[in-house]
Structure 1
């Protein structure tokens, strides 16, 4: 049982870093193949792994983690003018303004961001990855980030592990 919980922690960490990995499918498969694993332990392992992985994105968005030089140089180097790049900037100007307005609103109403992040950690809407990055951008206190994220992810994955048949039916719709 302990071995499976360690694997679960690792899969959850990996899925937090690489969104193509589905920890939900892993949890359903795990608890249906070995019903002896306590659902509460599965929920705790996934919550810890997910938040540990998302902490990397949170810290990077906050500016506490410096990108590797090859990424940093690629993102911030001077480039010659290009019509393609100018078109791209013109297309994304509205999105950048929207993100900046959202960031300002989050600074003015910090409880709004906490609520959004907490709901996202349970429901997944808005996308948890997006709210994680936004929490870093608006400099949400780390204690709030960890508490809301751990609680929300624990609720989500404990429920999933406790009733896999209910959620497995949703995957086949």
Structure 2
């Protein structure tokens, strides 16, 4: 039988992997873990998953920001090569994020909490728009902690009602 530290270490690995590869569902893993090992504190599980998720999404953030070098087929075109309305919209969006940091933070928090819009996309857009890394980390961590804390508590609440 695995210890709590072993289970939390595995959970951290799954949460990082799910942040990088959308086909892995940390939500399903967390529910299964809570049902199989209800002795794990919900807050510890939420902290570990939130930390792993933000760690994985931070790679997306820095890649979109241009701080991590991607293979050529994954690199975006140079700014001079983009033209027209799309270029204008992207520039206006980036300027809007800079002018309205509270709005940007709220959108990121809601995305981290509810995944609407998808947090993977928001992580990339935040990096591209050069949202401050502290805003990304704080709003992302808080949203993910609340999301996975609620997910960890839910099976216990349902089992007391049934």
Per-residue Cα deviation, 1:106-163 (whole angstroms, up to 9, x for no partner): 1221221111001110111011011111111111111111111111101100110011
Partner of 1:28: 31
Partner of 1:128: 119
The SS at the match of 1:163 is helix
2:50 to 40, 47, 51: 47
The 1:30–1:113 alpha-carbon spacing in structure 2 relative to 1, beyond 3 Å, is same
CA contact 1:27–1:161 (8 Å) conserved in 2: yes
- CA-atom RMSD in angstroms: 2.4
TM-score (norm 2): 0.83
CA contact 1:103–1:134 (8 Å) conserved in 2: no
CA contact 1:15–1:21 (8 Å) conserved in 2: yes
Partner of 1:13: 16
State whether structure 2 residue 119 is matched by structure 1 residue 116.
no
Give the Cα separation in 2 of the matches to 1:101 and 1:45: 36
Give the Cα separation in 1 of the matches to 2:157 and 2:90: 36
Could you tell me which runs of 5 or more consecutive residues in structure 1 were left unpaired when the two chains were aligned. 78-88, 168-173
1:104 CA displacement: 2.9
Q: Count matched residues.
A: 151
Give the Cα separation in 1 of the matches to 2:109 and 2:75: 31
CA contact 1:28–1:161 (8 Å) conserved in 2: yes
CA contact 1:8–1:45 (8 Å) conserved in 2: yes
The 1:122–1:73 alpha-carbon spacing in structure 2 relative to 1, beyond 3 Å, is closer
Larger radius of gyration: 1
1:60 CA displacement: 0.7
TM-score (norm 1): 0.78
